[in-house]
């Protein structure tokens, strides 16, 4: 009989340690459903070139409306490439915009659609839409069968230059944005400029705020380029928008690879400059303010704060606010004046919420120079209030 002594009954530690490698291509193309465009086929077949790939296709309803021939073009593309791909059953049109992240029945329906199509880990879900619908379909795809292949076709400037090329997806819950989600790198990403032809101006502009942001914290040359091209960008000249998207996407991709923390295990979100206030303003306005519009305000606020806090040279905040204004952003929202019952500014709740999302100590990215982000661990709310008043004064001068 085995004798259990005190020594053998004590805790034993066996170390587990392994790494999982991720790689995925990001393509830039035009007119992905032109039957002669090889991009989608290359993306689907990148692991098994000789297989017929089964694909469940989801389309954002905003895209379906703006691009009425899309479904037919997808069908024709699939027909032409029938040896290598099969669109299983009909294309599924899902709600676009934040509503898909708020309503959990939408995620359930996507899961049902994946199930009805018998999508398995070697078949694929393909999502065509804006950042919100990509987040929701990406989340459903990440939990279905514990993760099926997911190809993204982002259709907004923001999703092409930022969210679509990254590794995160999420939906909102219990009043909190992006509360439920996971880090799940896509199987491939295809940025197709043709979708931007039908994108409303407000949405086009929104995505440019992320480019200003990443230029400010990582790449002074890119920020200077945006300043030089601001008028062309404000007119949405395709050549300028194309350069902006590519450079911004590359900087976001580089951060994931070289930043050392692709799944955000630490306390910092280095690319979320301007975002603590932005997320709160989005919530306070019930998404009346779009993500990019809120980010533009958050950037202007935190740049002025960086100057008042002695981190950044005086005058840089004017440069930043000017370029955002030239791109067409308004750098004020009345939500700044909302107060809680004790008289505190509600936007300041954004600081605690930002911290809670990651855990650990408060970590906010500010600017130590143009092109140079810096992390701080405390925020002086009086300086935030002064920064808000600076934005108000500028806005009142612009809109008397
Ligand atoms: N996962 C991430 O890393 C990450 C990063 C940043 C932002 N996000 C999320 O992205 C979302 C915002 O995404 P967004 O700015 O792309 O907007 P969006 O997805 O909310 O789309 C905005 C509107 O445009 C419509 N639309 C999309 N493409 C269109 C097209 N080509 N033509 C016509 N209409 C079109 C949509 O139907 C929607 O009504 C937010 O939920 C934000 O939290 C996620
Ligand atoms: Zn953002």
> Which amino acid residue places its CA nearest to atom 39 of ligand 1?
97
Question: Which pLDDT score is estimated for 360?
Answer: 83
Q: Is the dihedral of CA 191, 287, 271, 368 positive or negative?
A: positive
Pocket test for ligand 1, best of 58, 142, 163 (most atoms within 8 A of CB): 163
CA of 275 to the centre of ligand 2 (A): 7
Read off the pTM: 0.94
CB of 221 closer than 8 Å to CB of 181: no
Which atom, in ligand 1's list, is nearest to the CA of 195?
31
Say how far apart CA 267 and CA 326 lie, in whole Å.
34
pLDDT tens digits along 325-372 = 999 999 999 999 999 999 999 999 999 898 887 778 899 999 999 999
How far apart CA 49 and CA 107 sit, in angstroms, is 31
Give the angle subtended at the CA of 159 by the CAs of 150 and 169, to the nearest 5°. Answer: 50
Q: What is the pLDDT of residues 66-113, one digit of tens each?
A: 999 999 999 999 999 999 999 999 999 999 999 999 999 999 999 999
CA dist., res. 158 & res. 156, Å (int) = 5
Ligand nearest to the CA of 289: 1
Whether pLDDT at 7 is above 70: no
Integer-rounded Cα Rg, in Å, for the chain is 23
CB of 328 shorter than 6 A to ligand 1: no
């Amino acid at each position: 009989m085995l004798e259990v002594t005190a020594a053998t009954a004590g805790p034993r530690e066996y170390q587990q340690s392994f790494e999982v490698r991720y790689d995925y291509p990001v393509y830039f193309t035009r007119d992905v459903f032109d039957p002669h465009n090889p991009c989608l086929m290359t993306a689907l077949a990148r692991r098994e070139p000789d297989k017929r790939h089964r694909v469940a296709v989801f389309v954002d309803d905003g895209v379906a409306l703006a691009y009425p021939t899309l479904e037919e073009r997808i069908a024709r593309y699939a027909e032409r490439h029938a040896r290598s791909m099969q669109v299983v059953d009909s294309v599924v049109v899902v709600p676009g915009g934040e509503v898909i992240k708020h309503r959990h029945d939408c995620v359930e329906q996507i899961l049902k659609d994946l199930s009805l199509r018998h999508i398995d880990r070697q078949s694929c879900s393909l999502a065509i839409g804006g950042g919100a619908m990509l987040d929701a379909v990406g989340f459903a795809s990440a939990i279905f069968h514990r993760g099926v292949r997911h190809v993204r076709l982002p259709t907004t400037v923001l999703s092409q230059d930022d969210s679509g090329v990254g590794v995160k997806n999420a939906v909102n819950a219990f009043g909190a944005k992006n509360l439920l989600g996971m880090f799940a790198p896509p199987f491939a990403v295809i940025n197709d400029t043709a979708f931007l032809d039908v994108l409303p101006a407000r949405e086009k502009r929104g995505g440019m705020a992320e480019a200003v942001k990443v230029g400010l914290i990582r790449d002074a040359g890119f920020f200077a380029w945006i300043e030089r091209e601001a008028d062309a960008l404000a007119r949405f000249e395709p050549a300028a928008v194309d350069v902006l998207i590519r450079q911004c996407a590359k900087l976001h991709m580089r951060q994931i690879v070289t930043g050392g923390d692709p799944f955000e295990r630490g306390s910092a979100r280095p690319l979320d400059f301007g975002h603590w206030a932005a997320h709160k303003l989005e919530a306070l306005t019930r998404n009346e303010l779009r993500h990019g519009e809120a980010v533009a305000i958050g950037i202007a606020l935190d740049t002025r704060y960086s100057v008042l806090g002695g981190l950044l040279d005086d005058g840089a905040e004017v440069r930043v606010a000017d370029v955002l204004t030239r791109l067409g952003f308004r750098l004020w929202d009345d939500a700044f004046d909302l107060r809680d019952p004790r008289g505190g500014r509600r936007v300041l709740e954004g600081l605690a919420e930002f911290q809670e999302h990651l855990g650990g100590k408060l970590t906010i990215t500010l600017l130590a120079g143009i092109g140079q982000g810096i992390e701080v661990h405390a925020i002086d709310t009086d300086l935030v209030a002064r920064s808000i008043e600076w934005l108000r004064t500028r806005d009142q001068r612009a809109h008397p």
